[in-house]
Amino acid sequence: MFILDITNAVTLLLLLMFTVLLIFLSYELKRSYIVAIPLFTFLLLLVMHVVQLMTLSGEYSYNSPTLTWCIILDFAFIFISFISYLWVDDLEAKKFNKKSIDNSLDWFWKEV
């Protein structure tokens, strides 16, 4: 059974660098859709890992801990990407004088 294992140190480091670089690029360009790319990617990875865990047969039960850790890391990356998306969306709204998607974190952005 093929598993896209993101618990591998090299893969995890590459995913982290990819995410940070896209967040930085979206910050510099003030475009929130750029940081939405890793958000949707990690959502797709989460769905893939959950489906693989739910359909895991008995002969591949040794992959269960790896898939569980992959799901945990998917949630962590989704959280980072989502907070970054809200942050860049707020910056984009201020730059182009348009309404932000969500203004409930204004108190937090003032501290950042």
pLDDT digits (tens, 9 = 90+) for 66-100: 999 999 999 999 999 999 998 898 888 888 887 66
* Domain edges within the chain: 9-111
CA–CA dist 109, 37 (Å, integer): 22
Residue 31 DSSP SS3: coil
- Does the pLDDT value for residue 111 go beyond 80? no
**Quick one: which of 24, 21, 15, 27 has its CA closest to 92?**
27
The model carries a pTM of 0.84
What does the angle CA 4 – CA 80 – CA 76 come to, to the nearest 5 degrees?
45
Q: What is the pLDDT of residue 105?
A: 66
Q: What is the pLDDT of residue 47?
A: 96
Task: Please indicate whether residue 56 or residue 111 has the higher confidence score (pLDDT).
Answer: 56
